Amino acid sequence: MKTTTRFRTLLTAMTLSVGVLTSCQKETVVADDPTRGFSADIRKIVPDAIINDLRSRGMVINEGKVPPKLNGTFRASPYTLLSPYGSDDSFEAGDVINDYVYKFYGQNTTNAISYDYTNYSSDTGTGKGAFVAGNGTLFTIFSEDTGIARGVPYKTVSIISGEVTAGGIRNFQYAFVVKEKTGDAGDQTLIPVNTGRIWLDGDKLATTDAGGRIGVPMREAVSQLTR
């Protein structure tokens, strides 16, 4: 009888312990923070290795799942190089090329977004399967771009960052890594595959450009991918 009583007492104590442990585990579960991290869609586009490399080179990448609404046409001018692709790059940090105009549209409830861009006549492209991250007024777009620069078709993994303001996009930045290009043997026209640059608006504000007009070229037939 004593053995049975002791067994029942031990079993009761074990049950209470499991209940307390389960309760503690439930209490330590942290809810998802919408101002941090990236969606699953974005994770499919850009690996951590590219994100970390661009951040180490000065790219601002805003996290979060509650980005601002981004719509309209904006001119990045002076379009200035922040980071060349490497020691072999013929461009240097601080070099300025033709203005770029970006048109953003179609952002939906899943934060998919579309955009097009061009500069004078040497580069025209569009974002494919793009998604926007961010929180508050800060945003970062992750995309696979397709375009034609100086007659060469290309594909890039691209990231655009900034802050939405009444006057335009503050601290506008555009970074890319070339994934494919066609008909550029020896890398005579565009930079090599698996290399990339980071560009920004030199006066820290990409202004609203309702007409989408392109300014006078700073360097003729030069794009952000030009070799």
Q: What is the pLDDT of residues 30-46, one digit of tens each?
A: 457 777 778 777 877 77
Predicted confidence (pLDDT) at residue 212 exceeds the cutoff of 90 = no
pLDDT at 69: 95
Integer Cα distance of 24 and 19 in angstroms: 9
- The reported pTM is 0.81
pLDDT category at 11 given cuts 50, 70, 90 is: very low
Would you call 99 helix, strand, or coil by DSSP?
coil
Which is higher by pLDDT, 93 or 19?
Answer: 93
Indicate the range of 17-26, 74-83, 127-136 predicted with least confidence: 17-26
Strands (E) across 65-214 are located at 65-66, 72-76, 79-83, 96-97, 100-105, 112-119, 123-135, 138-149, 152-165, 168-181, 196-201, 205-208
Q: What percent of the chain clears pLDDT 90, i.e. is strictly above it?
A: 66
